[in-house]
Amino acid sequence: MGQAFTYAQNQWPTLVALFQDGRLLIDNNHIENKIRPLALGRKNYLFAGSHEAAQRAAMIYSFMASCKEHQINPYQWLKDTLDRIPDTKLSELHTLIPSPQWEPMEQNT
């Protein structure tokens, strides 16, 4: 019991701030759930075969996570990006990154 009281006493300033400011959340489950795939990915990168392969896998994970975050269909984004790369100038590569401003190329039908 003494350890529990000591812990609560040491955390008291944080608890006071938590209850005085309604914007603060009591847990961080939302953030932990968002970073869990990245943590699992880090573990998987150990078995990528080489450092370069692990870097490529990390980039793909990052692109897919960005698509998910911005509610972009990953398949559509990847297909569109691969179609656009040959005609994109080096100075315009940033336009291919999945972001809220990303829009798919007009389809020629």
Does any domain span residue 5?
yes
Q: Is residue 82 included in any domain, yes or no?
A: no
Specify if 97 maps to a domain.
no
Nearest C-alpha neighbor of 102 from the set 29, 91, 49, 76: 76
In this prediction the pTM is 0.56
> 89 is written with which tokens?
């100038």
Residues 6+ apart with CB under 8 A from 43: none
| Domain-embedded: residue 18 | yes
pLDDT above 70: percentage of residues in the chain: 94
Task: Tell me which residue range forms the domain holding 1.
Answer: 1-33
- Per-residue pLDDT, averaged over 5-17, amounts to 89
How high is the pLDDT of residue 25?
Answer: 77
Burial of 77: CB neighbours in 10 Å, binned 0-12, 13-18, 19+? buried
Residue with tokens 């970073």: 35
63 in a structural domain: no
In a domain, 53, yes or no: no
Q: How confident is the model at residue 40 (pLDDT cuts 50, 70, 90)?
A: confident
* pLDDT for residue 39 is more than 50: yes
CA distance 109 to 104: 14
79, pLDDT greater than 90: yes
Domain count, the chain: 1
